[in-house]
Structure 1
Amino acid sequence: MTWFKREDNEIVNDPEKTVRTEGLWVRCPSCKQIVFKADIEANQQVCPKCGYHFRIDARSRIENLLEPGYQLVDLELRSTDPLKFTDLKPYSKRLLEAQRKTGLNDAIVNAIGHIGPAPFAPIPVVLSVMEYAFIGGSMGAVVGETIARAVDRSLATGHPLIIIAASGGARMMEGIVSLMQLAKISAGLGRLDDAGIPYISVMTDPTTGGVTASFAMLGDLNIAEPGALIGFAGPRVIEQTIRQKLPEGFQRSEFLLEHGFLDAIVPRKELKLYLAQALTWMSNKTEPTETSTNPGNQ
């Protein structure tokens, strides 16, 4: 007879005697380790074992970067369906589903506030953050108009502009209306440059298509998160077109930095401090001693 024996084969369903484990653990796509979800959340959605950057929503990015007391603006705009577009489902239905899923009217959130972690004095900024969960962060008329308003607000106040991109590109369901946003935003950024107001572009995974072809690559400082996919056409499309195998890591932020397309790669946890350093330097303000460094040397 064995020294252990189960007396009762019945599974207990009493909630007071069971522990919920579903959703408490996450498998990291990079290191393949099983990580406690709370540890990833406490680390700003970055794997504590390998540094893999999970995608996060626009509101979380704003919360991570701006000091308390910031204000969300330009949230009232809504996309229409000018072409009455339908593919697998009507575009109007896609919009409603995305709005219910994200709680946003479109794939963009504007905010005004301050960046100022110690020892830096709070710096007023205009922040525009894309939401990838809203139809792949695609850029239609509302995204274009919202970013244009951020540019106008930066021009009116003289405050630096930061745009955080996360997008699959232009929104095909709006046709030429979507493509017009590339020129519209680029023209606004040209005026910002003429006025000498700093603009920092932050690229996250993914930043592709018309977004890359316009405002994402027009920053006075172009930076990216580690491992972000950045490019115009996707790697599969390029391989199928040129019928060649692409280099390892092609279109990832590390590859682009090596080939001169980026100024820096900044981990998410260091981004707030890096932006404060960069804006202090770009605004020709007195930099704090000892802890401050020129961001171009990082």
Structure 2
Amino acid sequence: MRRENQSSVSKFLLLGLPIRQEQQSVFFTLFLAMYLTTVLGNLLIILLIRLDSHLHTPMYFFLSHLAFSDISLSSITVPKMLINIQAQQHSISYNGCISQMYFFVLFGCLDNFLLAVMAYDRYVAICHPLHYITVMRKEVCICLVAGSWLFCCVHALLHTLLLIRLSFCSNNTIPNFFCDLTALLRLSCSDISLNKLVIFTEGGLLFIMPLSSILGSYIHIGSTVLRDPSTKRFFKTFSTCGSHLFVVSLYYGTLAGVYFFSSFQNASDKDIVASVIYTVVTPLLNPFIYSLRNRDIKQALEVFVTRAKSFK
């Protein structure tokens, strides 16, 4: 790659959300509230899991990593979006844009793998309860999380290295609120055929593998529960699994719409809406879907509040 091609664009312009001037304060307040709820909700989950020994189980070990991933995913994009809503200058440096894209791909990938690992954990707990302690021992849980981090770091690094070899010419306007990979590829005046090939092959594989694991786990859970005549267990399991599958469908549906079914030539408002869903809405829902409805988390929260009051 020639140095002059890389330095032809020193910064990018983020157009942000397609909102009117008079609506900016409303959207700023809305997204600020959603971001704070996401961060505080997920931090509370991590804190409760760390402090309560009853939550030192594989399920909550995975949940703590998912909470951290959700905080990171939102923090990469939302604060910059909030600044741009209020500021007149929406620029971001070349290095800042590439860094934002790398960490966004990393934590987006990590969410995929952690959702799959959590679904597998529930599958073992419900379908093979007698073998749960043996299968989901501490070493296995650490290996599953470490493997997820490793795969996602390599995945993000691969797409970043393929991106920085491209040239960016006069057009530096990104029609989104963050440096999305597909948006950057649309701006390039180089041949992006290799980038597209890697997205549809390697990216598609890392997309399908966790999704297949999630669907397979819940299908086995459903078939196991249907064989049990207990009505209480049936409704409890399907209430939980239904909520989980709703978040998975929302996350994977919007992700697929942006990276596999959208045009690499033209951006649309639908892509921006989809981006808002999987960067803002999904991390916001995860604390409520996966934990705040959970009895163990509620009990841990009650104990935490009681201890906090006793120190006053």
Superposition TM-score, scaled by structure 1 size: 0.32
Name the one with the larger strand percent.
1
Name the one with the larger helix percent.
2
- Relative contact order: is structure 1 or structure 2 higher (C-alpha 8 Å, sep ≥ 6)? 2
